[in-house]
């Protein structure tokens, strides 16, 4: 077995204390491992490894080799077969690799067994994505969400410490003491509970803001999509804002909201959100639920797709899977193919998606068409109704003004005659005053 102390992998025996899974004091050398399970397509595994290589580069490390295998099912002890473990060990020693990264999630036991055999750090795609999120989180909420996801990932991966913590002696208290593992586990659990409470408070504040938005009758649209599809650049193009734009994976973690005025004069709150990716860690989805509520509560989703990307259809599927997981699968969606300026000489990715919009956030091409489509879509989610509200029912008049947009008002003998644009739920709630 190789000497593990000679390798510098950043994960460490307890998952590290610095918040990073990959050591960035130097560029780690990484061997990637991909497994094609069952009847899956080997080409899909290669594409996933290409994406994992991008993630590794974003995290600050370098790919030096790859090992692939086809199996009917994962090996319970090491995920891959014994012969393939030996092949990975040989490749790691040949390239002097610090770390081995699997494209699939490893169980704590599989990770422990692999590190024992390989003599170097073994992590998975989940750890790499968590590491990138830890690098990019800047707001207090984002940092709390990422730390919570990391702790939930690390807790079952704690390793038994060698010593015991000190425990005060005395009648009724003498004993072997607590192992360091128990101390570490309790400390992490306390921190998890504190972060969960902190994020619950943030969620309450977000609900207050949401109710305030509903009272102001402003529609809300949220930009979603695969990481690095150009969502932040599109927000900047639509609203003339200065949100940070970088050509790298997961550059945006903190939601940014700006106002956009539509052609008919309506105002919409437009929010940019964290990008999604295939095999997005469950820990991150759970930790970011308070942020992702803005997706669930939106009136319209702008689903941004990289038209020049390697596999737009696979990216669309991955995003829709996450939307379904968080409860936003039924929110109206407008498909937006971005980066159309990079499609010169290539076939349009629209295919059967005739309702999709082609744009370039970089050049502005198609933006007017997108804004018009947004206005049409948001209006189609509402109805125009006529109401007769008695003069003595001022609270009903106020409710109509809060719930929608009042288009006309006339004073009649029996009260105010209003024409208003309301969402379907508000129209049903105020049906008593609707004039047939």
Q: What are the structural domain ranges in the chain? A: 4-133, 215-379, 382-433
Percent of the chain with pLDDT over 90: 44
Better-scored residue on pLDDT, 211 or 278? 278
Q: Residue 31, exposed/middle/buried by CB under 10 A (0-12, 13-18, 19+)? A: buried
pTM: 0.77
Better-scored residue on pLDDT, 375 or 349? 375
* C-alpha neighbours within 13 Å on the C-beta side of residue 260: 30
Sorting pLDDT into bands at 50, 70 and 90, what band is 183? confident
* pLDDT > 80? residue 90: yes
Fold matches, 4-133 and 215-379: yes
Alpha carbon distance 281, 318 (integer Å): 12
Alpha carbon distance 308, 313 (integer Å): 11
Question: What pLDDT is attached to residue 357?
Answer: 93
Show the tokens assigned to 351: 């295919």
Structure-token match 């091409």, residue found: 365
Question: What pLDDT is attached to residue 351?
Answer: 54
Q: Strands, E, within 137-190: which ranges?
A: none
Tally of CB atoms within 10 A around 344:
7
For domain 4-133, the CATH class is alpha beta
Query: Do 165 and 178 form a contact (C-beta atoms < 8 A)?
Result: yes
Sorting pLDDT into bands at 50, 70 and 90, what band is 111? very high
For residue 116, CA distances in Å to 78, 98, 110, 249 come to 10, 14, 10, 32
Alpha carbon distance 349, 313 (integer Å): 9
Question: What pLDDT is attached to residue 179?
Answer: 77
Show the tokens assigned to 309: 């990307």
Q: What is the mean pLDDT of residues 77-86?
A: 94
The C-alpha angle 334, 221, 373, rounded to 5 degrees, equals 40
Alpha carbon distance 33, 45 (integer Å): 10
Alpha helices in 27-68, H assignment, sequence order: 42-59
Mean pLDDT of the chain: 83
* pLDDT > 70? residue 375: yes
Nearest to 302 by CA among 220, 381, 223: 223
Report for 158-162, 171-175, 203-207, 412-416: range of highest mean pLDDT: 412-416
Sorting pLDDT into bands at 50, 70 and 90, what band is 117? very high
Q: Strands, E, within 390-434: which ranges?
A: 405-412, 415-423
Alpha carbon distance 292, 69 (integer Å): 36
Better-scored residue on pLDDT, 382 or 300? 300
Question: What pLDDT is attached to residue 152?
Answer: 93
Question: What pLDDT is attached to residue 169?
Answer: 43
What CATH number labels 382-433? 3.30.70
Question: What pLDDT is attached to residue 345?
Answer: 59
Q: What is the mean pLDDT of residues 387-392?
A: 92
**215-379 CATH pick, 3.40.50.2000, 3.50.50.60, 3.40.50.300, 3.40.1030.10:** 3.40.50.300
């Amino acid at each position: 077995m190789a000497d593990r102390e000679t390798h510098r992998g950043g994960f460490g025996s307890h998952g590290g204390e610095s918040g990073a899974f990959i050591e960035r004091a130097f560029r780690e050398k990484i061997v990637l491992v991909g497994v094609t399970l069952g009847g899956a397509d080997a080409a899909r595994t290669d594409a996933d490894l290409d994406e994992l290589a991008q993630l590794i580069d974003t995290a600050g490390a370098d790919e030096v080799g790859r090992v692939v295998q086809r199996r009917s099912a994962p090996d319970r002890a090491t995920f891959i077969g014994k012969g393939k473990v030996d092949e990975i060990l040989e490749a790691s020693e040949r390239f002097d690799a610090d770390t081995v990264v699997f494209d699939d999630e490893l169980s704590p036991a599989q990770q422990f067994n692999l590190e024992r055999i390989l003599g170097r750090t073994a992590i998975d795609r989940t750890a790499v994505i968590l590491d990138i999120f830890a690098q990019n989180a800047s707001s207090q909420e984002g940092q709390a969400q990422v730390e919570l996801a990391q702790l939930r990932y690390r807790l079952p991966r704690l390793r038994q410490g060698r010593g015991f913590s000190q425990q005060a002696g005395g009648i009724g208290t003498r004993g072997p003491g607590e192992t360091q593992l128990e101390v570490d586990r309790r400390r992490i659990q306390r921190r998890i509970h504190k972060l969960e409470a902190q994020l619950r408070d943030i969620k309450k504040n977000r609900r207050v803001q949401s109710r305030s938005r509903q009272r102001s009758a402003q529609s809300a649209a949220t930009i979603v999509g695969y990481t690095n599809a150009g969502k932040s650049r599109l927000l900047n193009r639509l609203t003339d804002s200065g949100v940070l734009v970088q050509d790298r994976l997961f550059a945006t973690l903190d939601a940014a909201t700006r106002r956009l005025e539509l052609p008919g004069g309506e105002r919409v709150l437009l929010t940019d959100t964290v990008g999604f990716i295939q095999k997005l860690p469950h820990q991150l989805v759970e930790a970011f639920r308070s942020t992702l509520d803005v997706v669930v509560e939106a009136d319209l989703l702008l689903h941004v797709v990289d038209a020049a990307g390697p596999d737009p259809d696979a990216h669309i599927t991955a995003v829709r899977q996450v939307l379904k997981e968080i409860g936003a699968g039924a929110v109206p969606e407008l498909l937006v193919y971005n980066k159309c300026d990079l499609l010169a000489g290539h076939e349009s990715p629209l295919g059967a998606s005739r309702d999709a919009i082609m744009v370039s956030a970089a050049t502005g091409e198609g933006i007017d068409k997108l804004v018009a489509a947004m206005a049409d879509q948001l209006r189609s989610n509402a109805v125009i109704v006529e109401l007769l509200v008695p003069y003595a029912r001022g609270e009903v008049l106020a409710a109509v003004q809060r719930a929608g947009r009042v288009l006309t008002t006339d004073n009649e003998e029996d009260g105010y005659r209003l024409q208003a644009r309301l969402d379907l739920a508000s129209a049903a709630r105020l049906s008593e005053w609707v004039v047939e």
